[in-house]
Every structure is written in structure tokens, then in C-alpha cells.
Chain A
Amino acid sequence: MSQAISGRRKQTGMTEEKPLSKLIRIIFLVLFDAAAVWFIQNAFAKGFDQLVIVFGIIAVMFNLIYLLPQAYPFRWMAFGLGFLILFTVYPIVFTIYVAFTNYGDGHLLTKEQALPIIEKQTFLPEAGKSYSWTAFRTEAGDYALWLINPDGETFLAKPGEELQPAKPGDPGIGEADNKGIPATIEGYKRLNPLLAATDKNLINIKFGIEGGTTVQVRSPSEAAELQIRFKYDEATDSVVDQSNGDIYENKLGTFTTKDGKTIKPGFRTVVGIKNFKDFVTSPALRGPLVQIVTWNFIFPTGTVLLQFSLGLAIAIMFNDPDFPLKKLIRSFLIIPYTVPALISIIMWRGMLNSEFGVINHFLREWIGWAPRWTTEPFWAKSALLLVQMWLGYPYFFLVCSGALQSIPSDIYEAVTIDGATSWQKFRFITLPLLLIAVGPLLIASYVTNFNNFGVIYLFIGGGPAIAEASTNAGHTDLLISYVYKLAFESGGRGVQYGLASAISIGVFIIVGAITLFQYRFTNMWEEVSENV
């Protein structure tokens, strides 16, 4: 461990790299490349094409970073970038890809996964017979089946031998039990159906003569002269129904006959810009979109302002060394952050319940009136912001407390001598310096809350419903929860990942534009920080 660190220490010296450091760097890179090649090879062998590409990109990136001297700064973040690409960028690329496919209910599997399922389907030909079966097995593991057809006739079937009519009591065959099945067959042991079923191969054994009629186990209660129903023809990308000759062609991920019969399951396939077209004509745009977008801006703004101002106020208020019990007080104030949000939100929902909640109970007792938190749009929004403030102020309290430490105390000493008031100190020293460190976090928090699905969903599920809207929208719905409702909850067509992805991209364009706009402010910070 310590060796690794010391090696690292030398290796990253930029000014004049020592030979040892260079050696370690090269050794590391060789090891890494060996691992990467092995990994990519395996991924390729298993057919994980996307993984091969993603990992290939990362491997090339690593080599460039650790070989090129001008890429030196990136050596400090190579691993971070690797993880970023794997778990953040890749899912985004995946989403974009999905937006152009029909991925969703009915088309969940890939074609490679769907075909075996389709080809596994069997049918019983018109002349075919079906039996109930009991398995017998030799010590060596060879099977025989005792078959009973619906007319009560009994047969003995072995692989490679013609089906033999047989009766209990025949030579080599024991007496029948109460179900008409012989208890013993010479050389074989009778198996309980469940024990027989533990052999995964049993369903694949063909009893009878290959080429003639063979009987196969179909289910715990049935063995039959089965034939494969569907045959896939790769050249025409179509499936032929062996039972009646129908031809099913691949129509956007579903094998369909000309007269509309389909085979389930369908599979994932690229459908071009269909999802985007659907989005444009979807009810989403006819719904109360303006209202939702407006609230979608108010919600994160309000959240960040409330959380930050309360957190900062507390941090400053108790940053005074003379303050009594401040340790204890701080410990109490951090508590909201320590309780899992999952339960806090649900707890607040209970406390703010209009009818039974404790808050309204007290309000009614004291002032004879209480807001209807969950049913009146205004109060629902206020309640949500209140809960958000409660959930988030300790975060900013922590961050600000940490950041306040970075402000050199001599600056304060200097201006105190100059006779600055506390407000002036705050306004002209604390706040600007703090914003350098915390400013980006405000944007980050804004952005996170812009898509804060969890709170909206857990609190009152976006409710109360908007009256006279053409879609199921709620007054506290954000774009993301609205998309969720449209794509996953209210679709008669089930979950549609493809459409959801297309809408997500639409939402991203809006949010991305806002974020880019806000870079103007970050650039401001950038300048400030350059000057320190």
C-alpha cells in the first residue's frame, strides 16, 4: 500500500520525471493494458458489444493519458473519468439509443433473446398423440417412459426404440399401482415426477425412433409427439409457422403475418424518429405544460434559496466561539440530514395530512383554521417547499461551515479595525468568498432538484390533480414526474422506454439550456477565483 503511494508520488512529478517513476508508470500501464485486453476479449467473446466499445474507449483514453506528457493533468483524474464514462456517460448514451428504438413493454428482449423463445414453441400435429407420463431410470441414467394415452392405453417408450404397447404384469414389468402405473420395470427405477424433473435434459430426450414419431416430455403432466412450430429464415428475416404454413414477417420488431397475426414476444429494434414524432403528437404537449414548466422553475429555485439561506444563517450564527452549547445545538440541527429521506418525507406527509395530521390539529385548536396541505395547489406547493427546506438545510449548513473555515480570519481582523459593521463584513467578505466555494453547489443543487423525482413522488405523487387538464397532471408535478406518469403509468400500451427516452431528451434540452445560461454566472466565479 505505502509502496504504491510512494511510487505514485515519484511518478507524478511533472517537472523532471525520475527514471524509477517512469518505470513504475510503464509497468502500471502494461499491467493495465494486459487486464484491459483480457477483459475486452472476454466481453467480445460473450457478445457484449457495447461493453467492448465503452471499455475500449476507456483503455485508449488511459493509454493516451499515461503516455502523452501533455496529458499530464489528466493523470490526476484518469480513474474518475473512467468511472464517469462507465456509469454516467454510458447510461446517457444508452438513453439516447433507446429513444430511437421501440424498447418497452412487448419489445423488451433483443432479437437474439426473442428468437430462441419463439423457436422453442411446439405444436401437436393433428394426428399427433399426447400422453401422461411416468419416468423410469437405469443406474446408468438411461430413461424409459410409461405412457398412458387419453383412452387409457399404456405404452413403454425408450429412446431409439419403437413405442411398445405394454401392460403392467408383462414380462419385466411390475404390478400396477392404483393409478395403473407399474411400480417397477426391470433394470429401471421409477422416479417421482419432481425427481425426474430435476434432470434438465429430460425435456430434450426424444423417445421413439429418430425420424419416425417421437414423444417428448412437454410438461409435468404431458408427453406428446411434438413438433417445432416456428422456423426462422434468416435470409428473408421471417418466421414460418410449420403447423399451417403462415409466413410472419418482421414488422418493426414483431413477427406479423399479412393479415395481422403476431407472435409474442416482439423484440427491440430501431424505429428511427418514431418516438420523437409520437412525443410531438403525444398528449404530453396538449397537457398543462406551461403550468408544469413554470412550477418546475419555481420548485428548485425556492428549494435552493430556502435551504441555502437557512443553512448559511445557522452556520454563521453558531460560528461564534463564545456561543454556549453550540456543539450540542449543532448536533441537534444536523438531525434532519441523518434520518433517511425515505422516512422523513413519508413522516411529513403524515404530519401535514389535512384531516388527521398533527400540524393541522394544533392549528385548528389555536387559530381555528388550517390550510388544506394536500388538496389546495398553493398549500401543497408550500408544504413541498417546507419539507424540502427541512430535508436540505443541514447540507448547506455543513457545506457552509466547512467553507467558512477557508476564509482567513486576518481579513476579518483587518476590516474590524477599519470599523466595518457585521452586515458589511457579511456582505462584502463572507458572502463573496463563500460563494466561490459554494456557488457551484447552488447550481448543482438547483439542477438536482430540477429533476427531483423522489421527493415529488413520495410526498403526494405530484398531486393535487389539475382540474380541466387533458392529461393526468398534478399541481406539484415536475417535468420528470409528468413524463414518468405519461410513459409508465397512464399508457394503455404499457411501459414505453423508447418514448420515455425521447421525452427525457426533450427535457434535457430545456434543462441543459438553462444550465448553459447559468454558466455565465459560473464564469463569473471562475474569474473571481482566478484572482485569489
Chain B
Amino acid sequence: MKTKLSLLFSLLLISAFVLAACGGGATETPAMEEPAPAPTEKPAEPAPEPTAAPVEPAGTLRIWADDTRAPILQDLADDVLAAYNLELVVELKSSIRDDFQVAAPLGEGPDIIFGVPHDQAGAMVANGLLAEIDLGDKKADFSPVALDACTIDGKLYCMPYATENIGFFYNTDLVPTPPTTWDEVLTIGRALKAEGKVDYVMAVVGDATYDMYPIYSSLGGYIFGKDANGNWNAQDLGIDSPGMVAGVQWVADGVAAGDFPADWDWANNHALFENGKTPFIMAGPWALSRIRESKVPYAVTNFPSNGFPLAGTQGIYVNVQSENLLLAQAFLTEYVATEETMYKLYEVGQRPPAYLPALAKVEDVDLKAMAEAGKNAVMMPSIPEMGSVWGSWKDAVALGARDAKLDVPTAMKEGADKIRALIANPLTGMINVPGSYQAQAGCPGDWQPECKVTAMTKGDDGLYRSGPFTIKAGDYEFKIALDGSWTTNYGSDGKQDGPNYKVTLTADGTIEFVYDPATKLVTATVK
């Protein structure tokens, strides 16, 4: 027995090492002997050489892509190698963004990442992981909306390759003419349900946030408002806006009446539509292949009651730490941004190309209908505050509409409050005069827009005042800053990021400020 067992152990150990050696791993000495690999050790197998190329390729690009895009890039690799002697190493990743955020800071990231939605790019830019992209004269060939989505802080960080939004699907067997209002949706669906032809009036997909947005938008609901310059305004949150509440209420009433399923699982609800158990669903291009495979008769049309969806842009990004920055960019502009490649990408991904020449070639009826349904679509806000919205929005809709734990207005109000607590700025509304005098006025330091000591107060005449502060003789500079931060600040010309005001005190004295919100100018009185 003893000998048998030790024999078994030795056998196992030996086979373990044989396996390790043949698998190209380290030829390790047994762990019980030595944990640190010996210095003389060499990798059992050198990095795989491209055997297909007769000569050393002039350059190599590492690309991360998902399972849809990776095969097509792999197919392109042979062409690229033949035409430009350029080797593409395509690596298939299941969570590109997360893994990129870990690998890239160490310089281990790929040169190019493929297929990350635009609303996830903001954080990567803030982390300094992405390179600016110059599309050159190809820029005109891209959809302006998509380019806009790829632009962060005024700089282009991705080459858009597809835009996507949901469309309104209906079962053409059950519904000969598509409904034009949400009420019609209910009437048609209820009639079918009464006849026993369907189980539900309409499928409800996902969290009923993004996927039900057309209902909310048709009633005037929104996520973030925009400021005068057309930028997203994080202070104007629309999760508890009347339109949003009315839309969620509509869903809640439907669930309560049994018109909508009380489970919103994505796959299950698509299956409902595919099996003819519900005549309507709002779905995206990603669902087209499975809907077609199910052979259900369907068509895509505009949303009832002029509802419009949220839109997203899929982009291709370049790693800023790549050793092949120029090559990666050239590869994108010279090779990927061509009608042929973009059309191939479209064929596998089934997303409308953002590259206009390729888009012109698309003849798919459904995608065209979807594009039509999305022609008024809003790009998903890519401001970082959006990250705080999803979770609470989802919970609020679930509590109010699906589970009926709270009445809808309360649920939405609570949800919106949670979001506000996360993004709100406690100093909102503060008007301050940060400058080089502040330390003497009692602030912890100079140039502090958040210092309460120098904050202005509003007078009855609509003007804001602060001071007098006692300061020593000398030259001083200051500016106007709003909301306790530098985000909004006005210089001596009354403009954002304008030059500093300058003032000189010839002797020790006091200084007082008066600010006119209409002109955005300040007057300083020195005594």
C-alpha cells in the first residue's frame, strides 16, 4: 500500500511536470524544492512567431475586440499582412473596458480597443488612457452625431464605427397596422389578449429605463436637461420630472392590470415576442438576429406618440501608451475607415455604420426603419454624472412600476433624490470672489472658490456683495467663480475663463466687491 501510494504520487508529480513543460509554461522545479525560479531558466517556448509571413512584419498591432468583432478583424489580418506587411494580433476579450483599465496603466494594454460604447469613454479619458484621434479629411465621412458622441472636452477620442438605438417592433400577423399612440397600443393589445391570442399587451425589457425611454420621452420625460450652450446640465435632473413620472405611471398601471409582464428579464421578454405571446416590443439591432431566427413575422416602425429613444455610439479607441501611436491611427484612418471594412463590420455587427459611405450601402429594411425611429434620438449623456443615474433610476422604476412597493411619484422622487445626493454640489448657488487676497480675509489660502468667508450675499437690488475685507498694501488679482468651483468662472471681460481682475492697494486698507449677475462683472471698491 505504502509503495503503491508513493508510486502514485511520483507518477502524478512527473506527469504534472511533463504537462507543464509541454504546455509552454515555465519548466519549474518542484515547488517543494524551490519557489523562486532559477536564474538560468529560459522560457520553454519563445513568443509565437508569425509563421505565415515570409519576412519579419514591419509592425505589429495588438487589438482587443469582443466576440462579434474579433473574427472579422482576424479575417482582415491576412489582407493587412499581405498588403502592408503589418501583423494584427487580435485578442478576444469579454469585458474590454474593465480589463483595459487594469492592463493599460502598466503599459500592458493593446494598441487599439474595439467596440466600447461612447458613454464609457469619459472615465478612460479622465484616466489618461486614450489617445486623441485625428481622422484628417476622413472626418467628413462620419456621422456628425457619432463624432459628437466621441468628443470629450472638445477633443476626439474615438473613431465611431456604429450608432445604435432601439426601434418599435410589432407582430405583423397580429397587428396589421402599427399603432400611432400609446393608447392605441393598449387598445390593440387588450383586444388581442381578450381573444386569447396573446398573453401580454407589450413586452417590457431590461430595467425599463433605457429600453422604455420612448414612452417617457413622448410624455416629456428626460434624464438631464441642457444648458444654454447645449451642454448637459447635471443640475437639471429629469428623473422625477412630470413627464418621467407620468411615463412610469403608465407602465405601472399596465403591470397592475396584467397588460405587461411583472418580470422584465431581457431574454424572457424577447422570447415572449418571438413566440407570439405579445404583439409589441421595443428592441435594438442587437436583437435582430434572434428575432429573425425565431421566424416570427415582424416589422419595425416609429415609436407611437412621437416617442424617441436614447442613442449610443460604438467606438474604436487608441491606447495613449501604445508604442505604435502613429501606426494605430494610420491603420484606423487608412484601412478601417474605408467603405469595404466598415461594411464588413456592419455585416457581422448588424449596427448601422457611422461611416456614411458604408451607411449608404446598407439596404436592410429593419435597420433603416430603426434609423428612422431614432432620427430624433438623444445621445446618451456621456457626462460622468450619468454614472450615478442608472442604479437609482432602475431601482425607482422597479419599486414604483414593477413591484408596486411605492406609489410612482414617491418612488421617482426618492430615486431622483438619491442621484442628487451623489452628484449634487452642496455649494450650488454660491458666488465667490477667489483671489490673491483671500488668505488675509480669513480663508485657508488664496484662490479658493469654495471658501465661505469671501462668499457673496444677494442684496435686494439683485446685486451680490462681499466685504469689506481688511488687507495690506500690494497688488491683488481675483475672479468670479460660481457654485464653489472653477467650473463656471468669469474674468474681467465678463467671460468664462477670462483674465484676472487686477487691483492695487497703495496703503493698507479694505476692499469690497459688488457683482452684477446680468453683466457678470464685478466692481471692487478699495478704501
Contact = CB atoms under 8 A, between A and B. Distances in A.
Q: Do chains A and B touch in the complex (CB under 8 A)?
A: yes
Interface of A: 1-2, 4-5, 8, 28, 31-32, 34-36, 38-39, 55, 58-59, 78-79, 82-83, 105-110, 113-114, 117, 132, 192-200, 202-203, 217-222, 258-261, 264-266, 283, 353-356, 372, 374-375, 463-465, 467-468, 470-472, 474, 485, 489-495
Contacts of B39: 34-35, 38-39
Given A35-B36, A492-B422, A220 B334 contact: yes
Contact of B331 (A109, A197, A203, A353): A197
Q: Which of B38, B135, B137, B330 neighbours the largest number of chain A CB atoms within 10 Å of its CB?
A: B330
Contact of B31 (A79, A107, A354, A474): A79
Contacts, number: 220
B136 A222 contact: yes
Interface string B324-364: 11110111011100000000000000000000000000000
A489 B394 CA distance: 12
B140 interface: no
Contact of A109 (B17, B128, B449): B128
Interface of B: 10, 13-14, 17, 30-39, 58-59, 84-86, 101, 105, 107, 123, 125-129, 133-138, 153, 234, 261-263, 265, 268, 320-321, 323-327, 329-331, 333-335, 384-385, 387-388, 390-392, 395, 398-399, 402-403, 405-406, 411, 414, 417-418, 421-423, 434, 446-447, 449, 479, 481, 485-487, 489, 497, 500
A372 B263 CA distance: 10
A70 to B, nearest CB: 21
Contacts of A372: 262, 403
Nearest to B327: A197
Contact of A200 (B268, B323, B331): B323
A79 B481 CA distance: 60
A32 B34 contact: yes
B88 to A, nearest CB: 12
B105 A354 contact: no
A264 B321 CA distance: 14
Contacts of A465: 395, 398-399
A13 to B, nearest CB: 16
A32 B36 contact: yes
A494 B421 contact: no
A164 B447 CA distance: 50
A200 B324 contact: yes
B34 A494 contact: no
A472 B126 contact: no
Given A219-B136, A259-B479, A472-B392, A197 B326 contact: yes
**3 pairs of A and B residues whose beta carbons are closest in the complex:** A265-B128, A260-B486, A221-B136
Contact of B126 (A265, A474, A491): A265
Contacts of A198: 58-59, 84-86, 327
Contacts of B321: 113, 117
A108 B105 contact: yes
B335 A194 contact: yes
Contacts of B36: 32, 35-36, 39, 55, 59
B171 to A, nearest CB: 19
Given A194-B335, A195-B84, A260-B485, A220 B326 contact: yes
Contact of A468 (B30, B385, B406, B485): B406
A354 B126 contact: no
B403 A464 contact: yes
A219 B332 CA distance: 11
B392 to A, nearest CB: 6
Nearest to B33: A4
